Amino acid sequence: MAKSPGENGPRSPAAGGSLSGTRENLAPGPDAAATDELSSLGSDSEANGFAERRIDKFGFIVGAQGAEGALEEVPLEVLRQRESKWLDMLNNWDKWMAKKHKKIRLRCQKGIPPSLRGRAWQYLSGGKVKLQQNPGKFDELDMAPGDSKWLDVIERDLHRQFPFHEMFVSRGGHGQQDLFRVLKAYTLYRPEEGYCQAQAPIAAVLLMHMPAEQAFWCLVQICEKYLPGYYSEKLEAIQLDGEILFSLLQKVSPVAHKHLSRQKIDPLLYMTEWFMCAFARTLPWSSVLRVWDMFFCEGVKIIFRVGLVLLKHALGSPEKLKACQGQYETIERLRSLSPKIMQEAFLVQEVIELPVTERQIEREHLIQLRRWQETRGELQCCSPPRLHGAKAILEAEPGPRPTLQPSPSIRLPPDAPLPGSKSKSKPPKQIPKEPQKQEKASGQLDKTPTPGQAKMAIAGGDACPPQDVPPKDPVPQDPSPQDSAPQVSAHHCSQESLGSQESEDTYL
């Protein structure tokens, strides 16, 4: 998984339709022009003769990935309830993160509904905020020519990323085009880092769940906030985390720690691909998704916990060590883990219960950093401190942070007027009479706000404006830009009222 700007030097484009490092040459040929408007899920599979093969629910060609193991099937009714609760959270994300982060963590541990996983990852990682803060940045990077020393290496890696997934099965298909765009854009966004081969599977997993622009900003967050320094030139951060993992293993499984110490097996020999690819190329796919759900919410401690669980159950007893007498046998055991250990329900429960905290990880980080400086000198990679999960990323966001404005997930019928919007239907007679009575009774409307006006003033926060109190000023005849703001806020509040009642009753 070494970072390489071209092991054998830049190669010249070969004849016969080879990719040459430009987005145009990654586009399908003339024969595929008729399928440009189709999704990669259909056209890429059919172009390679896989149309007659069955595709599993994750998009992989059935039989190509080997035995997936027993999947944890969620009943449809439970899945719909989870979707409703996640919709409420996503439509009121800042409020939930500020006041009910523990609920978000518990729901991530249960698993994000597949229909909302991509959107939830964007919100958890802060990629959604990054996109809002940098409008048009990805398009600018996408149109730039790119650094030639990285383009050739990226091209060679495209076909290696999940070749049996219908999105990436076709050379030059839509999936590989988007993967090339995201990776090239990152080399331009962080030219001092360039490209690392381990970034390709990370970006590919993101592209399976979201468009290229959103995947790019999630990749940026992973590289800068979750795993900073992992993809730098000398891989110092991953070496440091290997020592942290080995030290934590002594507390979690002394038997496994003693065996690896006796065999003098460096952590880099078994944990590099685990950590740098976030287990995307190690675990069964259902387990990968569950691990990523927790990783985006709780940070790198999930990656440490997964690694410790695998080591503990692979090498943690004398019976299991009987077949691991030497280095080769031990490494092979860790490269071909038992399917039972990696099974979704078992692995997730073990990861949740493993007593390894952020504080312990940071304490070991300081210890190993001091040892590194004593033996090897100062780190050459000056990466920012990593942030442990969504809560830490939210709190550390510098500068003015825009409030997330989600796209409507629950749409009202076309004939239903939005609360607060202009409508031809006349309001009930009793509604305008109440403020008239208040005016007559008080006589000081300009000095003392009525309760209805006080509620409208509070509505600038998370609360919704009351629907039965009309605004103080009459609605102007000519529409103006100011007219749209109350309509938008009322529209979002109407969405909250549709989906939040059930989850509030359940979780509060």
pLDDT digits (tens, 9 = 90+) for 7-56: 333 333 333 333 434 333 444 443 433 333 333 344 454 445 555 578 88
With b meaning 16 or more CB within 10 Å and e meaning fewer, what string describes 324-344?
A: beeeeebeebbeeeeeebbbb
Using one digit for the tens of pLDDT, what is the confidence trace for 202-214? 999 999 999 999 9
Please, are residues 331 and 264 in contact by the beta-carbon 8 Å criterion?
no
Q: Are 210 and 122 in contact (CB under 8 A)?
A: yes
Q: Tell me what pLDDT residue 446 has.
A: 43
CA distance 418 to 378: 61
Looking at the DSSP bridge assignments, the partners of residue 60 are 165
Asked if 45 and 166 count as a contact pair (C-beta separation under 8 A), the reply is yes
Q: What is the CA radius of gyration of the chain?
A: 27
- In a shared domain, residues 347 and 334: yes
Distance from C-alpha of 161 to C-alpha of 288, rounded to nearest angstrom:
15
Pair (226, 255) in one structural domain: no
Nearest C-alpha neighbor of 350 from the set 384, 387, 310 = 310
Q: Reply yes or no on whether the pLDDT at 297 is more than 90.
A: yes
Three-class DSSP category at 92: coil
Q: Which domain holds residue 269?
A: 236-382
Residue 351 — very low, low, confident or very high, per pLDDT cuts 50/70/90? Answer: very high
For residues 287 and 349, state if they share a domain: yes
Q: What is the CATH number of the domain that holds 163?
A: 1.10.8.270
Residue 415 has pLDDT above 80, yes or no: no
- pLDDT computed for residue 402 by the predictor: 67
Task: Residue 318: count other Cβ atoms within 10 Å of its Cβ.
Answer: 8
The pLDDT score that the predictor gives to residue 121 is 97
Determine the pLDDT at residue 462. Answer: 43
Q: Is residue 429 part of a domain?
A: no
Q: What secondary structure does DSSP assign to 256-298, as a single string?
A: HHHHHHHHT--THHHHHHHHHTTTTTTS-HHHHHHHHHHHHHH
**Rounded mean pLDDT of 421-425?**
48
| 3-class secondary-structure state, position 112 | coil
Q: Is the pLDDT of residue 493 over 60?
A: no
Residue 282 forms part of a structural domain: yes
DSSP 343: -
Q: Are residues 220 and 257 in the same domain?
A: no
436 has pLDDT over 90:
no
Query: In this model, does residue 96 exceed pLDDT 60?
Result: yes
Q: Tokens at residue 343, please?
A: 């099974």
pLDDT-wise least confident of 87-96, 209-218, 255-264, 322-331:
322-331
pLDDT on residue 74: 82
Domain boundary residue, one of 366, 399, 432? 399
Q: Return the pLDDT at 228.
A: 92
Instruction: Kindly tell me if the per-residue pLDDT of 65 is higher than 80.
Output: no
Same-domain status, 265 and 357? yes
Does some domain include residue 149? Answer: yes
Average pLDDT for 91-106:
93
Q: What is the pLDDT of residue 401?
A: 65
Number of other residues whose CB lies within 10 A of the CB of residue 385: 12
pLDDT at 44: 54
Q: Judge if 313 and 395 occupy the same domain.
A: no
The pLDDT mean for the chain works out to: 76
Would you place residue 437 in the very low, low, confident or very high pLDDT band (cuts 50, 70, 90)? very low
How would you classify residue 79: left for phi > 0, otherwise alpha for psi between -120 and 50, otherwise beta? alpha
Q: What are the tokens at 16?
A: 């016969």
Amino acid at 351: V
Residue that the structure tokens 């629910």 belong to: 57
| Lowest mean per-residue pLDDT among 311-325, 348-362, 411-425 | 411-425
For the cut 80, the answer to whether the pLDDT of residue 242 exceeds it is yes
Please check whether residues 183 and 260 belong to one and the same domain. Answer: no
Which has more confidence, 143 or 488?
Answer: 143
Write the burial class of residue 484 (CB in 10 Å: 0-12 exposed, 13-18 middle, 19+ buried): exposed
How many residues in total does the chain contain? Answer: 508
Clarify whether residues 362 and 272 are in a common domain: yes
Confirm if 1 and 276 have CB atoms less than 8 A apart: yes
What is residue 379's predicted lDDT score, i.e. its pLDDT? 81
Q: Decide: 150 and 158 in contact? Cβ < 8 Å.
A: no
CA torsion 151-35-38-51 (nearest 10°) is -100
Model confidence at 66: pLDDT above 90: no
Give the model's pLDDT for residue 488: 40
pLDDT at 453 over 70: no
- pLDDT (tens digit, 9 = 90+) per residue, 461-475? 444 444 444 444 444
User: Which residue in 361, 349, 508, 487 sits closest to 412, CA to CA?
Assistant: 487
In a domain, 430, yes or no: no
Residue 433 has pLDDT above 80, yes or no: no
Helices and strands: H and E segment counts in the chain = 25, 0
Q: Which of 367, 399, 431 is the last residue of a domain?
A: 399
Q: Are residues 169 and 273 in the same domain?
A: no
Tell me the pLDDT tens digit for each residue of 360-405.
Answer: 999 999 999 999 888 888 887 777 788 999 999 998 875 556 667 6
Average pLDDT over residues 189-218: 95
Cα 174 to Cα 29, 65, 428, distances in angstroms: 12, 21, 54
Number of domains in the chain: 3
Triad 191, 192, 195: Cα angle to 5° = 65
More confident residue, 225 or 39: 225
- With the CA atoms of 175, 178, 179 and 184 taken in that order, what torsion angle do they form, in degrees rounded to the nearest 10? 160
Q: What is the pLDDT of residue 103?
A: 95
- Asked whether residue 461 is domain-assigned, the answer is no
Q: Are residues 191 and 304 in the same domain?
A: no
CATH number at residue 277: 1.10.472.80
pLDDT at 64: 57
Report whether pLDDT(292) > 90: yes
Max CA separation in the chain (angstroms): 93
Separation CA 162–CA 170 (nearest Å): 11
303: in domain = yes
Q: Sort residue 409 into left (φ over 0), alpha (ψ -120 to 50) or beta.
A: alpha
Question: Which of 399, 428, 456 is at the close of a domain?
Answer: 399
Sign of the torsion angle spanned by Cα atoms 454, 456, 462, 466 = positive
210 and 249, same domain (yes or no): no
Pair 223, 251 in one domain: no
User: Per residue in 121-156, pLDDT tens?
Assistant: 999 999 999 999 999 999 999 999 988 889 999 999
How far apart CA 62 and CA 257 sit, in angstroms, is 38
Q: Is residue 83 part of a domain?
A: yes
Q: In the prediction, which pLDDT does 233 show?
A: 81
Does 103 reside within a domain? yes
**Confidence band of 324 (pLDDT split at 50, 70, 90):** confident
Rounded Cα distance between 206 and 163, Å, is 15
**Residue 482 one-letter amino acid:** Q
Q: Which of 190, 207, 193, 189 lies closest to 139, judged by CA?
A: 189
CA–CA gap between residue 211 and residue 221 (Å, rounded): 16
